[in-house]
Amino acid sequence: MNTKQLEYFLITVQKGSIAAAARDLDIAQPAISQQLANLEREMGAVLLERSFRGVTLTQAGQIFVKHAESITKNINDAKIELQQLVTESSGVVRVGMLPSIGNVLSMPLIAEINHFHPHIKLEISTGPSYAVKEWLKTNQLDIALTYEQEIEQSFMSAYPLIEEYMYLVVGSNDSAKNYKQLLNRDTVNFWELSQFELLTPGLKDALGQLINNYEQKTGVALKHDKAYSGQLMTGLRQVIQGEGLMILPSSAMYHLEESKVVKALKIEQPEMTRLVLATTNKGMRISDASIQMLNVIKAVTASEQALSHWRGRLAISSDRHIHPPPYQTSKVVC
């Protein structure tokens, strides 16, 4: 048994057919079939039931897939821990992130890579949380930066970065005169949010899920009636024009705070937080360049947190390299 066989097996299971796996891996279908046959011969059991519709796991396959995922993840984790002993490698690393994360990380991440790691080509894609997760699942990304609400442990390895504080964001110019009573405050209690018209995404989005979770935990119903496009920059323009308020992390709007066009009030009682994680697809081998990128992301996250651009509690270890801990979802404490 080798890592190539495990990769072919996991991709075939994920895609549902050998033909789809061949297209995804860009290799000949017979090559995958041969590797799968060799794997089954070595394991002494039929792992996949083949039909014209595709493949399904046999009872033995259902047992083996858990071990295959664990072995692949352990290999990736070992590579991360041993990276300091590995010669730097060149390569393209595709990183996906949400607009709020991109607002704080994109520019310093690009600067760090260009200055200290010119052998790595960084490609950044931004989109809503559900799209970023799908890109990682379909191998269109090497690393996805996302939120705990989007984690699927069935295919994602997750490395916590920061537990970010959430804020009520209000326009601070004359256009937002209806909210002037908030401009002299630095904090707001969660129950007070029910007094204001909010611009919020739907439950398909990680932020919408987070807000709904806090509503259920606290029993406080918020007002979601304001029309909202779902686009971060459009929503912030509405806030600046006094058309409503938004719940956001500082990463999404620190630049507007510095320009004094918005005011951010930290949400308390209960404190509203959200865990941000770097994730990889546990079914795919992780390249040396991607390992280096994970550690650069860790360093840049810590730097932006120190500058108060990204306010929250760091969730990464203090040593030089990421050592993946078991994933744990943060809980709301009311």
pLDDT in tens, 98-112: 999 999 999 999 999
Contact 56, 29 (CB under 8 A): no
What the chain holds in terms of domains, given with CATH numbers, is 3-81 (1.10.10.10), 88-162+275-314 (3.40.190.10), 164-273 (3.40.190.290)
Task: Give the mean pLDDT of 80-84.
Answer: 67
Position 77 pLDDT exceeds 50: yes
Which residue type occupies 231? Q
CA dist 323 and 288 (Å) reads: 15
Contact 283, 73 (CB under 8 A): no
Task: Give the mean pLDDT of 54-80.
Answer: 90
Which residue type occupies 223? K
For residue 37, what is the DSSP state?
Answer: H
Of 213, 221, 219, 224, which is closest to residue 166 (Cα–Cα)? 213
Range with lowest mean pLDDT among 88-97, 215-224, 261-270 = 88-97
- The greatest distance separating any two alpha carbons of the chain, rounded to the nearest whole angstrom, comes to 74
Contact 241, 221 (CB under 8 A): no
- Report the DSSP pairing between strands 143-147 and 187-189: unpaired
Predicted local confidence at residue 309, as pLDDT: 96
Q: Which two tokens stand for residue 9?
A: 């097996």
Position 294 pLDDT exceeds 90: yes
Range with lowest mean pLDDT among 156-160, 166-170, 201-205 = 201-205
Predicted local confidence at residue 321, as pLDDT: 54
Question: Between 321 and 4, where is the model more confident?
Answer: 4
H helices within 44-137, ranges in order?
59-81, 99-116, 129-137
Contact 182, 304 (CB under 8 A): no
Q: What is the pLDDT of residues 296-308, one digit of tens each?
A: 999 999 999 999 9
The neighbour count for residue 326, using CB atoms within 10 Å, is 5
Predicted local confidence at residue 91, as pLDDT: 84
Q: Which residues pair with 142 in a beta bridge?
A: none
Read off the pLDDT band of 52 (50, 70, 90): confident
- State phi, psi for 12 to the nearest 5 degrees: -60, -45
How many degrees, rounded to 5, is the angle at CA 8 between CA 7 and CA 12? 115
Task: Give the mean pLDDT of 189-196.
Answer: 96
For residue 309, what is the DSSP state?
Answer: S
CA dist 203 and 212 (Å) reads: 8
